Amino acid sequence: MLTSLEPTTLPSGDTVPLSGGMAHRFRPLLDQVVQSIDEGADLGLGLSVIIDGEPVVDLRAGWRDRKKADAFDDTLVCVYSCGKAILGTLIMVAVEKGQLDYDTPVATYWPEFAAHGKEAITLADALSHQGGLAAFTEEIDPALWLDWDGLCAALADMAPLWPPGTDQGYHPQTVGYIGGEVLRRVTGKTVGEHLRALGLDVHCGVGEALRPRTGPMMKPPAAPDLGDLTPLKGAAFLSKWSSAAGVSREAWAAAEIPASNMHATAHGLATIMQAYTTERLGGDMTISEHVRATAMAERTCREDLVLPFTLSWGTGVMRNREGQLGPSATAIGHYGFGGACVLADPAHRLSFAFVPNKMSPALVADPRVTGLLETLYDLL
């Protein structure tokens, strides 16, 4: 039973809006969140923890905007690359249904993809960032990211940047189109349509009806540290065509860009991530232990060509390495630019989501997240 939360007063005299609830034994997480807001590390956020299908934390704290005019409450936050894990979950459902197979070439489902030496790239290769399609090194129109068919055609006509399967380089944007197009080809539904069918507060493509619930994101105080810059890193993150530039925020939010523009609440994200911890989630999201284990199994662990880390990847999800996803070795999940995080831990049958609107420069292991996870595991 979740205990409802009441506004609390900071030492500064500000009254922090709180909504949602939490089981009594997890109250130290609330203290940590309030302290983070008081110290200025956070402005508004959502935090959700689900264990064995039961919510134990559903917390919304702080403010939606810098002027502190509106409570955070049910704000939909852009979770950036956390969407990659949500896409991976949708694909895991399709694998369970026999519609997809991780070790089958992408071109089996999408014949045009075979061009220029890509015929052997498997779905697992693509979703574990081994396919060699991390970025367009030749200029494209940045608005192409809002044209699903056009962008997929450009990917199908692209040659790999390294021999597929021989190296690992994070695909900031393209992995969403590869996974999403394969899913569309076999199910007839886009990523956004699959999410709408689930009826949860996770959205890929935010139209006019949902726009009033989306809040502004407070940009980080510094650029992320990409390590030594290379032409590939430049193409993936820094070129004027590495993302949808020169378009309105409304057009960007309304487009389906699964790897970087999903909007969600923490509770919606944590609910979907339960798919990695339990067999039945309601509806048709039933995942066998074998399929879950296959999705989470390590496909590659190397020093990444695009991100300045050594990363371990399952199929669509990051595997915990050196505490990047907290204290449990069995945790999997994904970070989003600015500090958002989704996580599942089958050993503890829990899922976790943190969605802030004040962004940090951290790409992986945001201190706010790792601190919350340390407290959470101490309380288990």
Q: What is the pLDDT of residues 14-42, one digit of tens each?
A: 789 999 999 999 999 999 999 999 999 99
**CB–CB of 7/15 below 8 Å?**
yes
Q: Which domains does the chain have, with CATH numbers?
A: 1-12+21-41+55-62 (no CATH), 70-316 (3.40.710.10)
Q: What is the DSSP letter of 347?
A: T
pLDDT tens per residue, range 94-117 = 999 999 999 999 999 999 999 999
Burial class (CB in 10 A: 0-12, 13-18, 19+), 131: buried
Residue pair 94/186 in contact (Cβ under 8 Å)? The answer is yes
The tally of CA atoms less than 13 A away on the side-chain side of residue 7 is: 11
Give 151's pLDDT tier (boundaries 50, 70, 90).
very high
Residue 280 has pLDDT above 70, yes or no: no
Report, as an integer, the average pLDDT of 55-76. Answer: 95
Beta strands 263-264 and 300-303 are: unpaired
Which of 297-332 are b and which e, b meaning 16 or more Cβ less than 10 Å from the residue's Cβ? eebbeeebbbbebebbbbbbbbbbbeebbbebeebb
What is the bridge-based pairing of β-strands 202-203 and 263-264? Answer: antiparallel
Total residues belonging to the chain: 380
CA distance 307 to 299: 17
pLDDT attached to residue 282:
52
SS (H, E, C) 119-149: CCCEHHHHHCCCCCCCCCCCCCCHHHHHCHH
pLDDT of 356 > 60? The answer is yes
Say which residue the tokens 């900071």 belong to: 10
3-state secondary structure of 232: helix
Question: What mean pLDDT is predicted for residues 195-211?
Answer: 94
Cα–Cα distance measured from residue 110 to residue 136, given in angstroms and rounded to the nearest whole number: 20
Q: What is the C-alpha separation between 366 and 364, in angstroms, rounded? A: 6
- 285-324 pLDDT, tens digit per residue, is 679 999 999 999 999 999 999 999 999 999 999 999 999 9
Mean pLDDT of the region 357-366: 94
355 three-state secondary structure: strand
The chain-wide mean pLDDT, for the chain, equals 94
Q: What is the pLDDT of residue 165?
A: 94
* Buried residues in 272-283 as b, exposed as e (16+ CB within 10 A): bbbbbbbeebee
Beta strands in 34-89 (DSSP E): 44-51, 54-62, 77-78
